[in-house]
């Protein structure tokens, strides 16, 4: 889940960087028509019909010299991918640092979360202790903590740790350490296991 979150956070910036590199490497320089401008440095423009047959309008924020020249001439120099008019770069464009800052902050927060989980992961989940009433057995993958009677439970989960006299099962939001008390455990690490056990803590 953390890996997926990291991909989601960094994908927009990575895609933008990859697109810019592709435009720089494979794009062609064209003269676009300025169709609208205001008092600010925002311009709206259209590519020639052979570049963009749909004649869509694109907008960009540019620096003052580029803005003044575009308004005076009605033209704007743009480098664009022939097969993808949405991938373009305007000389004199004002690049926003907001996406980079937001991505960096999100990456730092994600890293802190990973460090906290690594440092305190074992403490963030409650841990139970029990004594086995029979041998540990293989079972279908399932998380179960079912009371049989009094303090006796049927426990099912994934094996996290295996020892000569104990086994630790993952119950999702908690773990349970089962003392074998002479019983057998033929189930290996990261396999599904079940055992009848008496809760002691």
Domain boundaries, the chain: 2-98, 126-199
Tokens at residue 109, please?
Answer: 């927060």
Q: 29-62: per-residue pLDDT in tens? A: 999 999 998 777 889 999 999 999 999 999 999 9
Coil, strand or helix: which one is 1?
coil
Q: 163-184: per-residue pLDDT in tens? A: 999 999 999 888 999 999 999 9
Q: Are 13 and 100 in contact (CB under 8 A)?
A: yes
Q: What is the pTM assigned to this prediction? A: 0.48
* Sign of CA pseudo-dihedral 11, 13, 18, 20: positive
Residues 197 and 185: their CA atoms lie apart, in Å, by: 13
Tokens at residue 5, please?
Answer: 């979150």
Residues 75 and 113: their CA atoms lie apart, in Å, by: 49
Residues 95 and 79: their CA atoms lie apart, in Å, by: 15
Predicted confidence (pLDDT) at residue 123 exceeds the cutoff of 60: no
What are the DSSP calls for 45-93, one per residue? EE--TTT-TT---EEEEB-HHHHHHHHHHSEEEEEEETTEEEEEEETTB
Instruction: Kindly state the average pLDDT of the residues 72-101.
Output: 88
Query: In CATH, what class is 2-98?
Result: mainly beta
Q: Are 58 and 103 in contact (CB under 8 A)?
A: no
Residues 115 and 152: their CA atoms lie apart, in Å, by: 37
CA end-to-end distance (rounded Å), the chain: 31
Residues 129 and 140: their CA atoms lie apart, in Å, by: 22
């Amino acid at each position: 889940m953390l890996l997926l979150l990291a991909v989601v956070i960094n994908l927009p910036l990575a895609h933008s960087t990859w697109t810019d590199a592709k435009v720089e490497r494979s794009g062609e320089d064209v003269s676009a028509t300025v169709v609208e401008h205001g008092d600010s440095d925002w311009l709206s423009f259209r590519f020639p019909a052979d570049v963009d047959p749909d004649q869509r309008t694109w907008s960009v924020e540019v620096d003052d010299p580029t803005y003044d020249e575009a308004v005076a001439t009605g033209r704007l120099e743009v480098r664009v991918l022939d097969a993808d008019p949405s991938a373009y770069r305007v000389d004199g464009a004002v690049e926003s640092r907001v996406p980079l800052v937001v991505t960096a902050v999100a990456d730092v927060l994600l890293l802190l979360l990973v460090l906290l989980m690594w440092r305190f992961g074992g403490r963030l989940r409650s841990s139970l202790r029990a004594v086995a009433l029979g041998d540990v057995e293989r079972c279908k993958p399932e998380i179960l903590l079912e009371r049989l009677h009094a303090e006796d439970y049927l426990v099912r989960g994934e094996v996290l740790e295996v020892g000569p006299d104990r086994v630790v099962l993952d119950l999702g939001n908690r773990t349970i350490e089962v003392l074998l008390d002479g019983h057998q455990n033929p189930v290996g690490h990261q396999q599904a296991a079940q055992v009848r056990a008496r809760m002691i803590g």
